[in-house]
Structure 1
Amino acid sequence: MKTTPLIALFALCTASLPAQEPKAAFEVLFDGSSFNGWKQSGNWVIEDGAMFRKAKGGGISYQAKPVPDDFELQFEWKVGKGSNSGVYYRPGQYEYQILDNSAHADGHNPRTSAASLYFCMQPSRDATKPVGEWNSARIVCKGTVIQHWLNGEKVVGFDYTDPKHAFNVEMLAKRGGDVAARGAFLSFQDHGDPVWFRNVRLRTLGPDEELDRSAVTPAEISPEVLAAEKAKLDGILKRREDAAAKAKAKKN
């Protein structure tokens, strides 16, 4: 077969392209049949292939290994009416909020609504499904970029070193969170309400993997909600100060 100069040039250019690094495979953390690798107090059970918070007793955490610094976590969740829970994936207050937005008070504030980075960054909109239906979620973190996805939509996406997000980072810090912290065990919160999780899987992001860079605009928060938020935070800080003062007095 005769090779034309154009075909030869294309072949040469293609051959010179660097091989793309294959994505790391997902590791299944919960397959719906056992709690292997998980630690809890017996208040979580397996129900129809999902882990279910049946009674009070604390959260459940995956203790086989900590969450990688750069990762993608996928899971599905659903809640009962008025339920509140969360997914903690980095030390401190790194929480993907799990919530019934329609019936829980935290749903009034976008910064504490479902899929928010709790008390830090609000989602672009409420993308939850009706209570009792399964929601699909993703958490993608690489370097200083944090993304929360809900039902196929990126609803949180920001670089915490960007000065325009300084207020959000400060909010997290006041609650005791550190955006630079790494190395936590994945855990699901017991907040006293019925909540279900299933199809939990995790993979490490490669150094050359590109993230979705599409812009996300956080939902607006009304002045009334901001005032209530400030009052709530002031209360948290006051209780913390009182507890520290009592501990100091007891020590002396």
Structure 2
Amino acid sequence: MNKIVLGLFMAAYLLYACGGKEEKTAEETSIETAENDWISLFDGETFEGWSKYGGGDVGAAWKIQDGSIYLDASNKDGWQTGDGGDIVTNQEFDNFHFQVEWKIAKDGNSGIMFFVHESPEFAYPWMTGPEMQVLDNDGHPDAKIRTHRAGDLYDLIESSEETVRPVGEWNLAEIIAENGNLELYLNGVMVVSTTMWTQEWEDMVANSKFKDMPGFGKFQKGKIALQDHGDEVWFRNIRIKKL
């Protein structure tokens, strides 16, 4: 038996002796570790980890439908549903990478807010938390305003390009916040990039509809909120990674 054949025989024997398992490469191990870093914020079956903004259980207008959080807007009360209201995570986050898939009904409006400070002095999440807009750009009147379209940092920065999908299709939204650096992604494309809590940030807020809200965009740790704007909207595959 020559040396090459002997070498192959020994390699096969060792693989058999070890149960036939191959060692993972460094890249495979890194990918697996990265996936394990994600924290699920929605189990697809319950509202565990979520509550109504201001306290109490999630309103009855929010339902679980086919593994997603769904806002049933059939009982509307102004721009919110009669028994809905905005919902927030029970946990607060500072540096994070947040992901969620959303789809909106025709002519619908909603939003994803972050760094939300839940306190009796602030009646709504948007009084403290900046918002990544969720919107039917083709049907909702808010789409006529730049910085109010899907993917925009609402009323502050418009998307660098529009990557939103048609009504009824799922969109992947991502918010990455780390040490003041903020990036918003919609369907894999970075559409907003800015730095929070700088003089430029303060000036931008001062020129927005939030100028008279002393708590807006100030908090460096807070909750994630899903908005009840009185329109049907769905959210699924909600997860976060602490950075």
- The TM-score with structure 2 as length reference comes to 0.69
Q: Hey, what's the Cα distance between the residues in 2 that align with 1:204 and 1:164?
A: 26
Residue of structure 2 equivalent to 1:200: 238
C-alpha distance after superposition, 1:1-48 (max 9, x if no partner): xxxxxxxxxxxxxxxxxxxxx757010001212211111111111111
Q: Hey, what's the Cα distance between the residues in 2 that align with 1:175 and 1:189?
A: 21
For the residue of structure 2 that corresponds to 1:107, the secondary structure is helix
Residue of structure 2 equivalent to 1:25: 37
Residue of structure 2 equivalent to 1:112: 148
Match of 1:58 among 85, 88, 93: 85
- Percent of aligned pairs sharing the same letter: 35
Per the TM alignment, residue 69 of structure 1 is displaced from its structure 2 partner at its CA by: 1.2
Instruction: Specify the structure having the higher radius of gyration (Cα).
Output: 2
**Is 1:48 aligned to 2:66, yes or no?**
yes
Q: Hey, what's the Cα distance between the residues in 2 that align with 1:108 and 1:195?
A: 20
Q: Hey, what's the Cα distance between the residues in 2 that align with 1:80 and 1:164?
A: 35
- The aligned runs of 1:198-237 (5 Å cut-off) are 198-205=236-243
How many residues in Structure 1 have an aligned counterpart in Structure 2?
182
Amino acid at match of 2:165: K
Q: Hey, what's the Cα distance between the residues in 2 that align with 1:138 and 1:117?
A: 12
**Is 1:191 aligned to 2:229, yes or no?**
yes
Match of 2:133 among 92, 97, 109: 97
Per the TM alignment, residue 110 of structure 1 is displaced from its structure 2 partner at its CA by: 2.5
Query: Which residues of structure 1 form unaligned runs of 5+?
Result: 1-21, 206-252
Structure with the largest fraction of helix: 1
State which drifts further: 149-158 or 97-106. 97-106
Q: Hey, what's the Cα distance between the residues in 2 that align with 1:196 and 1:149?
A: 18
Q: Hey, what's the Cα distance between the residues in 2 that align with 1:182 and 1:167?
A: 18
Per the TM alignment, residue 162 of structure 1 is displaced from its structure 2 partner at its CA by: 6.2
For the residue of structure 1 that corresponds to 2:132, the secondary structure is strand
- The aligned runs of 1:141-220 (5 Å cut-off) are 141-160=177-196, 167-172=203-208, 173-174=210-211, 176=213, 178-205=216-243
- The TM-score with structure 1 as length reference comes to 0.67
Q: Hey, what's the Cα distance between the residues in 1 that align with 2:185 and 2:226?
A: 17
